[in-house]
Structure 1
Amino acid sequence: MSVLVVVGETSSVLSARNGLIAAVRAALTADRSVDIEAGFSGAPENPDWVAFGDVDQAVDPKTIGPRRSYDETITLAMNVGAWRPGRGDDVVNEAYARCDELLSKIWAHIADGDNITLGGAVAWCWPGSASWVGAEVEGGFQVEVAAEFVCTHRVRAA
């Protein structure tokens, strides 16, 4: 497999974010019970959801070249959630398992060699950290995973 080096004249933050949203939609296209939102815009309609959050961009000063080119790291935040009605261990475990299933589908889709560039927006994108939180919410149990995806991109001045 050859390595694709994506180079642009400006930051690829917005392209990377849009690429991640498209990748998540593609990964979960067969699952109609998941709300996929570009941002946190109120209560989801379905018991499962994916919503996109903050974006961080950092320049690596060690990579700044004589033509003002540099590498940037883009970190994209995303929340994956599941709510299940009822009480007890089975309900809790079902909510955790559903979040794991959704996140695993997304990770597997992006890690595929054809999808790792988020449609050519970045050189590569890879799953970063994930923090899981579960709580009793409105007569059921909700799990929400705050996940990050880390991307790299090369910026070259015109």
Structure 2
Amino acid sequence: MVPIVVMGVAGCGKSTIGQALAVRLGVPYAEADDFHPPANVAKMHGGVPLTDEDRAPWLEAIARKIAEAGDGGLVVSCSALKRVYRDVLRGGNQQAFFVHLVLTPEVATARVSGRSGHFMPGTLVASQFAILEPLAPEESGVGIDATLPVDRIVEKVLARLVRTE
């Protein structure tokens, strides 16, 4: 089974969709936020956007997790906002399939501002949209409306996976 990376800006539902997909497929789930070093968490909590240099060891750790999964399958949530970030993740498995959860800046900001106990403040959502590079046509993946019900998103992903195998 190919690894699946659920990607998008903060507030798009990566964790919710990633967990639902993993349950449905019967494979492990990994939360990319758990791979951030403490310095990254402190920066984001302070409202400071991460740089590419900040993200490099985080992305490499996630790529290692993808590689460790092998053919056993894995769903991981990761913003993967730029193609170069996705290229690092593909270093763990060239067959990685990306699910881009698409939504507007207004919806993302409202969602992030409304959650408690998370280190990512709503003020950083705009910085994520500023660097977001949607999936290119040649990248293995699909863009899906993040405002759809969870079950509908999961069904759309599974239907697309069947067509790509």
Which structure has more helix as a fraction of its residues? Answer: 2
Flag the structure with larger Rg: 1
Provide the TM-score with structure 1 as the length reference. 0.30
- Which protein has the bigger strand share? 1
What TM-score, normalized by structure 2, do the two folds share? 0.29
